[in-house]
Structure 1
Amino acid sequence: MAQYRKKPVVIDAFKWTAGPDQTDDPLWIKEAIVRGDVTFTGDSLSNVTMQIKTLEGVMTANVGDYVIRGVKGEIYPCKPDIFEATYTAEDQAKHEGLPVAGYQSQNSVSIELVNQNKRLEEQVLRVLDNLANMKGPAASNDKPSVIAVDQRWLAIGRTDFEKGFMAINRAIFKPARVKLPGDRQPM
């Protein structure tokens, strides 16, 4: 039997108390209530349950359960013991820094932002790769689909895009200066 590790994803969740102290209802649960995807049963606060429509059918959340919005916007309940064994509050989740001087531990939000930037950068670089392959003769009236791209300017543009994405990622990760042998004062 193979074993699997849960991917590190960030989810939205709140602990449902069903009482007047419930002040942290997120907008997504309010919208689900308005849509009718979340309803309530019971005749008093002491025996109320939350009914959540899911792809698997209606699931019940009891007072004290966590209500989760998953990575695809799906909403479902989770018992407190399972939730607490599976999830850590995002502000507490830290990922070890790279084994590179000056880089520090990062939280999941920072890592996801940089990964989004890296995916966007890759899309731009693929467009530039396609342009780099356009080395044919200049367009003419009889062959309008064939163009020649100035490779020098394309290389300059590519470098500037790469520098821009690098600057954005550094703005998020904020690497620090490093201390060198012989330094007397901290950097």
Structure 2
Amino acid sequence: MKKWYRKTELTQFEQFDGSPAINKEYHIEKEIDFDSNSKAKLNYYISTLEGNMKLNKGDWIATGVNCEHWAVKDDVFQKTYEKVQQDCEYCHGDGIELQGYYASLEIKGAQKYIIAGGEGELYFEINYCPICGRKL
């Protein structure tokens, strides 16, 4: 019997535009192919857990909970995913109250830290907001 399942973790997406910045961030590999008329075509590939996957401009790059990446065609993305609210008071630096301790996000240069006050302060680097799951 078939059953339906829903994933509950948040997935970060960025639309691929072929720019040097996005190519660098996701380690996109480029390859030039020639058709039968010797016309050059630039192909893009992203490294996934299953191997290299072809990526076209307009596709979406997904980042999973273990920082793995994969490509999603735009039409599939539009049918499958919905945008979540990005106005998280926690990761935008306003801070929230956690069990009597004040916690806030502090950004120092490229470093991101959670600071939990109380009897002493605790600093540790984070890559994702622990409340909304947004990549920082």
Question: TM (normalized to structure 1)?
Answer: 0.39
The structure-2 alpha-carbon separation of the partners of 1:112 and 1:32, relative to structure 1 and needing over 3 Å to count, comes to same
Closer, same or farther in 2 for the Cα pair 1:43/1:57, shift >3 Å? closer
**Structure 2 letter corresponding to 1:74:** E
CA deviation string 1:31-57 (max 9, x = no partner): 443xxxx31112589722211222211
Higher helix share: 1
Asked if residue 6 in structure 1 is aligned to residue 7 in structure 2, the reply is yes
Larger Rg: 1
Sequence identity, in percent? Answer: 24
Partner of residue 143, structure 1: none
Within the alignment, does 1:162 sit opposite 2:96 as a pair? no
Aligned to 2:88: 110
The one-letter code matched in structure 2 to 1:162 is G
More contact order relative to length (CA 8 Å, sep ≥ 6): 2
Equivalence map 1:114-153=2 (5 Å): 121=98
RMSD: 3.5
Q: Normalized per residue, which structure has more strand?
A: 2
8 Å Cα contact 1:69-1:75 kept in structure 2? yes
How many residue pairs get matched?
95
**Contact 2:11–2:63 at 8 Å: present in 1 too?**
no
- Contact 1:10-1:108 at 8 Å conserved across structures: no
Gaps of 5+ in 2: 104-136
Letter in 2 for 1:40: K
Runs in 1 of length 4+ with deviation above 4 angstroms?
43-46
Distance 2:66 2:44 in 1: 21
Unaligned runs of 5+ in 1: 94-106, 122-160, 166-187
